[in-house]
Each structure stands twice: as C-alpha cells, then as structure tokens.
Structure 1
Amino acid sequence: MAVARGLDRVERPRLYEQVVERLLDHVIEGQLRPGDRLPPERDLAERLGVSRATVAQALVALEVLGVIDVQHGNGAVLLYRPSSAAVLRGLREHADRLPDIVDARIAVETRLAALAAARRTPEDLAAVESALEVMAEDIARGGRGLEGDELFHAAVTAAAHSAVLARLMAQISDLVRETRIESLSQEGRPERSLESHRAIARAIRDQDPDEASQAMVEHLHLVSDVAVLKPE
C-alpha cells in the first residue's frame, strides 16, 4: 500500500538558500547575462541584511553548481541563468551527496597516497612539489589555491601508478570538484589544506606508505568540515 506523503515534515530553507533565491531574483530582474558580474560580497551583505559569511556561502553554492565563476580580484561572474527551482534542488542534492563523496575519496585516495609513497619516481616527486608551489603562490596572492589543489591530487594519483584507481578518480572528478570548491572557500582553509598537502608530500618523499595514507585521511577529514554540512 502506498504511503501518503502529503503531511511530510516541511523543511525550512536555510538562510544561505534564501540568499541564493534573492541572488537569482537579482539576476532575472536585472536582466543579467552570462559574463556579467554580481555586486561585491560586501554590498550584497548590506543590501540583503545578512552577514558576509552567509553571502559567501550562497556564492560558493552557486559556484559549485556552475552558475557563477568566482575569480580572485574580479568577483562573481554569471555563467548561465538557471531557474530558482533547479538551483534549490541542486543545492539539496549537493548537500545530500557530499558525505558520500568524502567517503569515496577516503576509500580511494588513501590507497593512492600509500601506493605513491611506495612507487613514486623522481619525476613524480617533481610534479608533487610543483603542484605545492602553484597552490602556495596562488594563496599568497589571495586566491584559494584551487588549481594547485587539483594538480596536487592529480600528481599523487599519477605517482601511485595504478591505472584502475586513476580511472576511478577520473570518473568522480566532477564530484571531487564539488568538495574542492566547498572546502577551499572556507575561511582559513586554503592555508590549512596546503599544510596538510605538505604532510602528504613529505610521507611520499620519505617512501612511508602508512604515514602517507594517514596524512591523506587527515586531509580528507579536513575537506569534509564544511559549512553546508553544519546545522545553522
């Protein structure tokens, strides 16, 4: 027998979700087109009567869904104009799958780190170190280190010399991007992430699989500490 769902508990939209709706209203009412910029974060916070942290979380959510591109020094640039309903549905789906993405990363990337420590070549180490430099330079300029983070994990994957695990990482790359943007947009997170990357790199350089695996676990637990998974 089918169970009636008409009186299911109603979920109250979180504050950042309400801000997302208002931002989408602004896009429509202002007739913004792809390539147009949204107002600065500080202005949005003042106009909407919310904290900058809430505005930042709303912008991160839109970036994760590919609605905007947040560029250091240029602000948020509109990529396309979606419907509010589609975005809100996407936000809920993103929040629901985020813990599963982290679980998948822990299962695969901890093994990759261990294998990288056991199998890395001098060329692999050079790629790992280069990724760290890219991330550090971007953070020093005020960026989030997104490109360097992606390069680092790709370098660790390559250093493991496991075609099957590399294929698994390629298959979940879009999902990993969600956790990357979500995590590195947290205040102070780029610097902490860089330090945990360096710990992984040291273990790989020292050819210590157990330490590399543990360092990766700790890093991925850091990645999972994001605002969207915390109660308001």
Structure 2
Amino acid sequence: MEPSAKKLEVQSVSRNTLSKQVVDQIVQLLVSGQMKSGDKLPPEMELMKELDVSRPVLREALSSLETLGVITRKTREGTFFNNKVGSYPFSIMLALATDNLPAIIEARMSLELGLVTIAAEKIKDEDLARLQETIETIKNSKDNNYGEADKEFHRIIAMSANNPIVEGMIDSLLITHEKTDSLIQYRERDLTVAFHQGIYEALAAHNPHEAFNQMYKHLDYVRQKILQHSQIN
C-alpha cells in the first residue's frame, strides 16, 4: 500500500471565474515550492475536494494548463508538471502578437541581451569555435543567402548560457528570430559579419558588458531597418 501523500496547502476558490482561479491555484503549487517541475499532481478527486470545484471546472483548468505547456496528462499514469514550464506560454504570446511587430522585436532583444550576458561568463572554447564557423559561413555565402548560419550563431549563444530555467525559452527566441528575419528585405553581409565578429570577440574575452553592448548594437540596427521598411509599406 502506497504511503498517503502529504496534504497540499491550497485555498478553495469562489464561484466566479472558477477555471481561471483553479489554474492560478495549481500554478501556485509550483511557485510556493510545495511541488516542483516533473512532480505528479494529486488525482482529480483529491484536487476537486481540495479546491472545492466540480469535475468540469477542474478539467477545463487542466486543459488550459496543458495547452500552455505547464502540465502533461498521461493515460493511466496521471498528470505531471512539465520540466520546462516557461517555454510554451511565451510561444503562445508570440503567436498572439503576430501583428505587433515592435513588441516581437523587443521580445527578441529582451531574450538575447540577457542570454548573451550570461553566455559571456560561461561560454566554452568549443562553442566559440562553432560561432567562428558560422561567421566564416556568412562571410563566404553566395547571394547573401546566410539565414541559417545567422540563426545558428544566435542559437549557439543562447545555449551557451547553460541555464536550465531559461533553456526552455530558446525555442521562443528562435521563433522571434525567424519572424524578424523573414521581414528583412535586403541583407548586408559585410555588416552582419562585423556585428557578429564584435559579439564573438566580447564573448571570447568573457566580457559581459561588452557582449551586451555589441549585441544591442546588432539588434537595434536590425530593429530600425525592419521598422523603417514596415512604415514605408
């Protein structure tokens, strides 16, 4: 016989916006530290009792959490908190903001500026070598067709931050990269190489401040170019 699980401290919810409140209460189990990523949630009957809600309300809340990527429901096994709960909600917000170009660009800048700063402290020699390879690929590209090498450059930096909490957001970073990249009407290979080389040198020197500055100059230039073109059209 399995030992009884410890009693979870959750508040019963009022009758208005029930599903939303259930979502908040379940997320609070993570925030409060009572449960952690990968943990199995209590059975539905127990949650219904603790939260004082009906089965339809609970299932609506669980469906919302699953859509957001916070939980996974496995047949015959139960419901589990995902290991990386931060990635999907961000991706969904990006999808909802498809018409808000400035917000998408700012989201990319927010992610990359933080990641490059941490990467400067942690990046390894083999990652630096891979970054240099992408720069050479861009430098030798034909017809300015270097989108994949550009994307790989930014992905390597993001992964070099080596942080399991923000790792789940890297897919979202790549989504913003693809979105902004698709809006670039003309490429400037030599300028891209210069920007990337400046970022590379700051990372190689393990200088977080300079890495931030170099990445900001690069992304701000991209932002101005894209927004200027979108206003013209």
TM-score of the two chains, using structure 1 as the length reference: 0.53
Structure 2 equivalent of residue 122 of structure 1: 125
Rounded to whole Å, the distance in 2 between the matches of 1:162 and 1:142 is 36
Rounded to whole Å, the distance in 2 between the matches of 1:147 and 1:156 is 14
Rounded to whole Å, the distance in 2 between the matches of 1:102 and 1:175 is 7
Q: Does 1:137 align with 2:140?
A: yes
Structure 1 equivalent of residue 230 of structure 2: 229
CA 1:189 to 1:182, structure 2 compared with 1: closer, same or farther past 3 Å?
farther
CA 1:133 to 1:221, structure 2 compared with 1: closer, same or farther past 3 Å?
same
Q: Does 1:97 align with 2:135?
A: no
Rounded to whole Å, the distance in 2 between the matches of 1:174 and 1:106 is 13
2:112 aligned to which of 87, 99, 109: 109
Amino acid at match of 1:205: A
Do 2:107 and 2:176's aligned partners in 1 also have CA atoms closer than 8 Å? no
Q: Deviations over 1:22-45 (max 9, x none)?
A: xxxxxxxxxxxxxxxxxxxxxxxx
In the TM superposition, 1:48-197 aligns within 5 A as 94=98, 96-138=99-141, 141-183=142-184, 185-186=185-186, 188-197=187-196
Shift of 1:102: 1.2
Rounded to whole Å, the distance in 1 between the matches of 2:147 and 2:157 is 16
Runs (5+) with no aligned partner, structure 2 = 1-96
Rounded to whole Å, the distance in 2 between the matches of 1:166 and 1:191 is 31
Amino acid at match of 1:202: E
- Which portions of structure 1, spanning 4 or more consecutive aligned residues, are displaced by more than 3 angstroms? none
Shift of 1:230: 2.5
- TM-align CA RMSD: 1.9
Does 212-221 or 155-164 show the bigger shift? 155-164
Q: Secondary structure at the match of 1:143?
A: coil
Shift of 1:172: 4.2
Rounded to whole Å, the distance in 2 between the matches of 1:133 and 1:216 is 18
